[in-house]
């Protein structure tokens, strides 16, 4: 659906500071409404959920396309006296038009947010669609040769795209800072809400009033965070064993996060793919001191979760909703295509909203073993579903497949 068709400016409607205050207010207001039942989830999990829900995903720009858009007549400022009159009797001039189409992934409205590091000269646009920014380049040929015209057009296109990319980059820095602030706010608000609910519950209990709770009152103490450190390879260490040990630690962590999600009484099940991915990403970072990144370029494209340490990829993961074997096979292809020749450990996190979750698990297993790159199961990692697949470059890679039941 097309939003605007006139010339306007991006990144000019609202400041990032105003936007962050609004998100923070909405986050705190929602936490204030949490019931005693909903507070049975651990503070760590609730913090991850609310931080993910209110932190916007960064805008991702893709390669632009150029499209011939015909001729347009434009009014000439008074005093230039060029021939040609429009219906209002004003001088006009005919221009050739090229449409620059810049695809993007993310929330369209976020392209109207002004970052904290900004410029007065904002990039212009002519159309802002759901996943595409359109900008018109109007030009005349006159006495210029083709090479000169092409150079002028390319210069204007490059200048506009670079300007958009600069603002998007500034917003990405703001989102990183915003995420950390929202995380602190969420944790503090959840702890305050627990105190209020627990105090009220204790008062009602003393008065003999039935609160109607379906579970025991009080704060459920979350399981203590495991102290995980990325191991340093010793001189006599086998690198493959070292990699497997880290791989299994991450898989155990993913299982813990997944079980918390499946048991969650908060409205986490309506989250989209990116928000669910962010919950796992933040969970990994809570144990690995920020070494994990999301939507990171790695060989053939962007990978959802990338854990790097000492310039080496320890773990790569893609997140997808289950939508049948063919879509799953595409997800496997995407993961394998994004691996470099040195990447040896990866995972697919599959979210299912289907009622028959056990059947989905069986179909995932069948689809994995039917994939043309499938080699064998990895029997030495017994507690997880891990398969040996062949990457696009022909080297073997160990891929864990994790399925999570997030039906509403």
**Contact in structure between 59 and 216 (CB atoms under 8 Å):** no
Q: Is the pLDDT of residue 70 over 80?
A: yes
The verdict on residue 335 lying in a domain is: yes
- According to the model, what pLDDT value does residue 156 have? 95
Q: What is the pLDDT of residue 236?
A: 46
* Inter-CA distances, 54 with 170, 284, 287, 322, 362, Å: 19, 19, 22, 25, 34
Examine residue 230 and state whether it is found in any structural domain, yes or no.
Answer: no
pLDDT for residue 227: 41
pTM as predicted: 0.60
Specify whether 353 is located in the same domain as 259.
Answer: yes
Beta bridge partners of 288: none
Could you tell me what percent of the chain has a pLDDT over 90? Answer: 37
User: Running DSSP on this structure, what letter comes out for residue 325?
Assistant: H
pLDDT higher than 50, residue 205 = yes
**Residues 307, 317: Cα–Cα separation, whole Å:** 9
| 317: phi then psi, degrees, rounded to nearest 5 | -140, 150
Residue 116 to residue 121: CA distance in whole angstroms: 14
Tens digit of pLDDT for each residue in 157-175?
999 999 999 999 999 999 9
Tokens read off for 57: 């995903």
User: What's the pLDDT band for 250 if we cut at 50, 70, 90?
Assistant: confident
Q: For 354-397, what is each residue's pLDDT tens digit?
A: 888 889 999 999 999 999 999 999 888 878 999 999 887 788 89
Q: How many residues does the chain have?
A: 408
* Same-domain check for residues 167 and 266: no
> Do 251 and 175 share a structural domain?
no
Structural domain contains residue 71? no
Task: Give the per-residue pLDDT at 98.
Answer: 94
Same domain, 322 and 245: yes
- Of 12-16, 67-71, 230-234, where does mean pLDDT reach its minimum? 230-234
Same domain assignment for residues 172 and 270: no
- Domain-located, residue 388: yes
Shared domain check, 126 and 36: yes
Q: Is residue 226 very low, low, confident or very high in pLDDT (cuts 50, 70, 90)?
A: very low
Q: Looking at the domain assignment, is residue 91 inside a domain?
A: no
Residues 107-134 have pLDDT tens digits of 888 999 999 999 889 999 999 988 899 9
Who has greater pLDDT, 255 or 264?
A: 255
In whole angstroms, give the CA distance from residue 97 to residue 75.
Answer: 15
In the predicted model, what is the mean pLDDT of residues 138-144?
87
Tally of domains within the chain: 2
Check residue 209 and give its pLDDT.
Answer: 59
pLDDT exceeds cutoff 70 at 286: no
Domain that holds residue 349: 239-405
Confidence of residue 154 (pLDDT cuts 50, 70, 90): very high
Same domain, 158 and 272: no
**Of the candidates 45, 355, 88, the residue with the CA atom closest to the CA atom of residue 190:** 45
Please, are residues 67 and 87 in contact by the beta-carbon 8 Å criterion? Answer: no
39 and 160 co-located in one domain: yes
396 and 307 in a common domain:
yes
Give the C-alpha separation, 327 to 306, whole Å: 22
Question: Could you tell me if residue 203 is inside a domain?
Answer: no
Are 173 and 246 contained in the same domain?
Answer: no
pLDDT band of residue 203 (cuts 50, 70, 90) is: low
pLDDT digits (tens, 9 = 90+) for 52-65: 888 888 898 999 99
Q: Is residue 204 part of a domain?
A: no
Say whether both 257 and 332 belong to one domain.
yes
Give the β-pairing of 292-298 and 132-139.
unpaired
Residue with more model confidence, 160 or 34: 160
**Is the predicted pLDDT of residue 245 greater than 80, yes or no?**
no
168 and 303 share a domain? no
The per-residue pLDDT for range 265-281, each reduced to its tens digit, is 555 656 778 878 878 87
pLDDT at 248 over 60: yes
> Is 87 part of any domain?
no
Which of 163, 180, 197 terminates a domain? The answer is 180
Degrees to nearest 5, angle at CA 178 with 172 and 179: 95
The residue ranking higher by pLDDT, 31 or 90, is 31
């Amino acid at each position: 659906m097309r939003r605007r068709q006139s010339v306007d400016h991006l990144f000019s409607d609202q400041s990032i500071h105003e936007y962050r205050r609004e998100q923070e207010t909405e986050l705190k207001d929602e936490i204030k409404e949490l019931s005693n039942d909903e507070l049975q989830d651990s503070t760590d999990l609730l913090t991850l959920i609310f931080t993910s829900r209110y932190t916007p995903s960064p805008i991702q720009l893709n390669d632009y396309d150029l499209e011939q858009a015909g001729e347009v007549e434009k009014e000439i400022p008074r005093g230039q006296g060029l021939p040609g009159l429009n219906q209002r009797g004003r001088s006009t001039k005919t221009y050739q038009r090229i449409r620059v189409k810049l695809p993007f992934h993310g929330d369209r409205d976020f392209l109207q947010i002004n970052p904290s590091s900004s410029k007065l000269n904002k990039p212009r646009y002519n159309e802002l669609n759901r996943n595409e920014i359109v900008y018109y380049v109007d030009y005349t040929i006159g006495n210029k040769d083709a090479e000169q015209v092409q150079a002028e057009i390319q210069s204007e296109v490059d200048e506009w795209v670079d300007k958009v990319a600069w603002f998007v980059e500034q917003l990405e820095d703001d989102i990183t800072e915003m995420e950390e602030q929202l995380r602190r706010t969420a944790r503090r608000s959840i702890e305050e809400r627990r105190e209020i609910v627990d105090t009220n519950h204790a008062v009602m209990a003393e008065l003999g009033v039935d609160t109607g709770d379906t579970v025991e009152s009080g704060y459920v103490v979350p399981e203590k965070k495991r102290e995980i450190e990325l191991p340093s390879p010793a001189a006599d260490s086998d690198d493959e064993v070292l990699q497997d040990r880290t791989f299994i630690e991450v898989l155990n962590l993913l299982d813990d996060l997944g079980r918390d999600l499946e048991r969650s009484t908060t409205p986490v099940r309506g989250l989209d793919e990116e928000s669910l991915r962010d919950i796992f990403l933040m969970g990994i970072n809570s144990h690995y001191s920020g070494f994990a990144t999301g939507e990171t370029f790695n060989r053939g494209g962007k990978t959802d979760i990338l854990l790097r340490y000492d310039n080496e990829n320890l773990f790569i993961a893609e997140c997808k909703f289950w939508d049948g074997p063919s879509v799953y096979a595409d997800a496997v292809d995407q993961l394998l295509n994004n691996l470099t020749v040195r990447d040896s450990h990866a995972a697919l996190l599959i979210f299912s909203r289907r009622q028959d979750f056990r059947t989905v698990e069986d179909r995932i297993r069948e689809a994995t073993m039917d994939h043309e790159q499938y080699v064998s199961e990895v029997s030495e990692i017994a507690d997880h579903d891990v398969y040996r697949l062949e990457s696009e470059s022909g080297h073997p890679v160990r891929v864990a497949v994790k399925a999570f039941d997030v039906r509403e």
